[in-house]
Amino acid sequence: MHFDATMVAAIAFLVFIGILLWAKVPGTITKALDEQSAAIARELDEARRLRAEAEALRASYAAQEANARTEAAALIAKAREDAERLRTEARATLEKTVAARAAAADARIARAEEAAIAEVRAAASTAALDVAEKVLVATTKGKVAADLLAKSLGEVGNRLS
């Protein structure tokens, strides 16, 4: 047999493979690859679990947002109804207040008219008494005139009172 460089390289390669097998390197490599494969599988499972949680959380937030929008719409509708009711109540209260003040003003005007009429009547009766007194004094004389005047003034005073 002839030993050339190719043959020496082939024998060295076989010896190297033998040493690797004797040192159980393929088992160690296989074990390391299996461990790495298991770690990757665990990470993928964790990623799937996290993704499912994130999707569930997103769905929950979407439902909460929809509920919040519905509640907000209901609150806005309720606020509009309340505002309309308050506006109606305020208008009714204002109308009642204006009507009450108008009635009070009418009553004050009526009282002022009655007071003015009473003052005019009093002034007219005083003037009529003064004129009657002057006419009676001018036309009648003596004791008859004084008695007639006293009696007439008493009757007019009683009637006016």
Residue (of 155, 153, 146) closest to 131 by Cα position: 153
The percentage of residues in the chain with a pLDDT greater than 70, rounded to a whole number, is 88
pLDDT digits (tens, 9 = 90+) for 28-45: 888 889 899 999 999 999
Q: Kindly report the length of the chain.
A: 161
Residue 158 pLDDT grade (very low, low, confident, very high; cuts 50, 70, 90): low
- Which of 143, 119, 146 minimizes the C-alpha distance to 133? 146
Can you tell me the mean pLDDT for 140-157?
69
pLDDT of residue 26: 78
The mean of the pLDDT values for the chain is 85
Q: Residues 82-89: contacts with CB within 8 Å, 24+ apart?
A: none
pLDDT tens digit string along 123-137? 887 777 777 777 766
**Cα separation of 22 and 18, whole Å?**
6
Cα–Cα separations (whole angstroms), residue 23 to 11, 20, 26, 30, 133: 18, 5, 9, 13, 160
d(CA 31, CA 142): 161
